[in-house]
Amino acid sequence: MATTSYLDLNRCSRPLPPSLSSLSACPCRPSAVTLPRSRAKLGGLDFSIDVARPVVGLGPTRGFLGRHRRRLIAAVARADPDHLPDGNAKQVLGVHKGHELSVNEDAVAENQEKASQLKKRIVFGLGIGLSIGIVVLAGGWVFTTVVAAAVFVGAREYFELVRSRGITAGMTPPPRYVSRVCSVICALMPLLTLYRGQIDVSVTSAAFLVAMALHLQRGNPRFAQLSSTMFGLFYCGYLPCFWVKLRCGLAAPALNTGIGASWPILLGGQAQWTVGLVATLISFSSIIAADTYAFMGGKAFGRTPLTSVSPKKTWEGTIAGLCGCIATTVVLSKIFCWPKSLLSAIAFGILNFFGSVFGDLTESMIKRDAGVKDSGSLIPGHGGILDRVDSYIFTGALAYSFVKTFLPLYGV
């Protein structure tokens, strides 16, 4: 229980009301206001306010009452308004109404800000989606260059997260020059994948050079430096290369796709529609559907938390995302006539969904340890590159393995 008898009702430059004019000769000085004893609860505390004797009010910035006087006065007015003197009641209730008006204004401003952020998120999301669709259709060097640029920015964001205060409290980050070199190496990996087809030797050589640089640095090298750097090469460089292998490496024509037959010659004709293009479009679309349905399902029905790594995700939203992902994959498989069987389309949708979910959770885990909400601020309303592509990082490798290995083996 907290008790007090200090109320500051009249520290301002305006004259006092007539009912309180006798309490102070100067309107700019703290005045003594006589109020009866009253009790009120504020923030879980039970206040016994005894203002039966006049006391000099505290200033607006002193102590607990200085910081919370509006809420405290409003609580007194609500607790026992009948016992307040007329003049004091008017002043107290006036303060209470002013406080409610301020709260309402803050709520309106907050809602407007949220609406603005949502509008910005939708506009930029549509713009990004349209641009990515054009890039995927173009393929070749256009697609690979965009992937390389995204990989470079994502690698920079990753190493900034590794160097953040939240993570460095428990580990030693790699030197800054190593982080920058690794970002450049990650950006070169998609280009080498397009040129050579395979990057195993390149990745192994890069890992060896980075490990050697860490061992030769000044001071004592730490295992945390090596592990975080190697994971950065794998997470930001190696895994995204599978999208290049999927889109550009699987060049067999999708003969059964009806869209290819009517595709303009100037845009590549039927040869433009390869298995890699169809698989990439279906995979991208199913990931977007999974995120959208999971968000809508979580908002509408979400009750059970999925994991502590991402508290906003729920089981209900996850199930909705899985159903939306499978449905989108099946519908697109009918449109593109690939894959042929319903079973393979469902399997492809499930694979895309789990790849997107665990990619999202992995990035959430990194951000949680770093103590940040977003990986960056490059995209207005969306955060950083990693915040937008986290669902795609693991999915490319899974989709490529499915199309390259699973479908030919089992013929489904």
pLDDT at 293: 93
Nearest to 287 by CA among 245, 248, 257, 332: 332
Residues 142, 206, single domain; the answer is yes
Distance CA 17, CA 85 (A): 13
Write down which residue in 102, 123, 147 finishes a domain. 102
- Residues 67 and 25 sit within 8 Å (Cβ to Cβ): no
pLDDT at 76: 54
Q: For the CA atoms of 118, 120, 122, 125, what is the dihedral angle to 10 degrees? A: -130
| CA of residue 97 relative to chain centroid, distance | 37
Give the percent of the chain with pLDDT over 90: 38
Supply the pLDDT for residue 100. 58
Asked whether residue 88 falls in the same domain as residue 143, the answer is no
Same domain, 41 and 167: no
Q: Which residues contact 228 (CB under 8 A, 6 or more apart)?
A: 162, 171, 173, 174
Q: Are 61 and 160 members of one domain?
A: no
Q: In one letter, which amino acid is 217?
A: Q
pLDDT above 70: percentage of residues in the chain: 69
Q: Of 54-63, 251-260, 296-305, which range is least confident? A: 54-63
- Whether 210 has a pLDDT exceeding 90, the answer reads no
Report residue 51's pLDDT band, with 50, 70 and 90 as the boundaries.
very low
Say whether pLDDT at 324 is over 90. yes
Is the dihedral angle over the CA atoms 19, 22, 26, 28 positive or is it negative?
negative
* Average of per-residue pLDDT values in the chain: 78
* pLDDT confidence of residue 397: 95
Eight-class DSSP state of 236: I
pLDDT at residue number 282: 95
Whether 195 shows a pLDDT value over 50: the answer reads: yes
Task: Check whether 44 has a pLDDT greater than 50.
Answer: no
- What mean pLDDT is predicted for residues 312-328? 94
Query: pLDDT higher for 221 or 321?
Result: 321
Task: Taking residues 254-283, report their average pLDDT.
Answer: 84
pLDDT of 391 > 90? The answer is yes
- Which residue is listed with tokens 């990082």? 393
Least trusted range by pLDDT, from 96-110, 186-200, 201-215, 276-290:
96-110
Residues 360-388: tens digit of each pLDDT: 999 999 998 888 888 887 777 667 899 88
Q: Is the pLDDT score of 43 beyond 50?
A: no
Total structural domains within the chain: 2
For residue 245, the one-letter residue type is K
Residues 74 and 180 in one domain: no
- Regarding pTM above 0.85, the answer is no
Q: Are strands 38-42 and 45-49 parallel, antiparallel or unpaired?
A: antiparallel
The answer to whether residues 183 and 34 belong to one domain is: no
Name the amino acid, one letter, at 38.
Answer: S
Choose one of 102, 117, 150: the last residue of a domain: 102
Look at strands 2-4 and 45-49 and give their pairing. parallel
- Within-domain flag for 317: yes
Note whether residue 228 is domain-resident: yes
Residue 109 included in any domain? no
207, 347: one domain: yes
Which ranges in 80-199 belong to alpha helices (H)? 86-138, 140-162, 165-168, 176-196
When pLDDT is cut at 50, 70 and 90, the band that residue 245 belongs to is: very high
Q: Is residue 183 part of a domain?
A: yes
Which residues form the domain of 89? 2-102
The span from the CA of 159 to the CA of 176, in Å, is: 9
pLDDT at res. 396 = 95
What phi, psi does 2 have (nearest 5°)?
A: -115, 130
- Supply 380's token pair: 């207005």
Whether 399 maps to a domain, the answer reads yes
Q: What element of type H or E holds 211? A: helix 200-215
pLDDT tens digits along 87-124: 555 555 555 555 555 666 666 676 776 666 667 667 76
**Quick check: is 194 in a domain?**
yes
Any domain includes 210: yes
73 and 157 together in one domain: no
What pLDDT, on the 0 to 100 scale, is given for residue 86?
Answer: 53
**pLDDT (0 to 100) of residue 286:** 95
238, pLDDT greater than 80: yes
Which has more pLDDT, 223 or 35? 223
pLDDT band at 406 (very low <50, low <70, confident <90, very high): confident
Read off φ and ψ for residue 350, nearest 5 degrees: -65, -40
Pair 91, 194 in one domain: no
Same domain, 98 and 169: no
The reply to whether 77 and 149 lie within a common domain is no
pLDDT at residue number 215: 85
Does 71 score more than 60 pLDDT? Answer: no
**Is 117 inside any structural domain?**
no
Same domain, yes or no, for 192 and 339? Answer: yes
Helix, strand and coil percent figures for the chain, each rounded to 5:
65, 5, 25
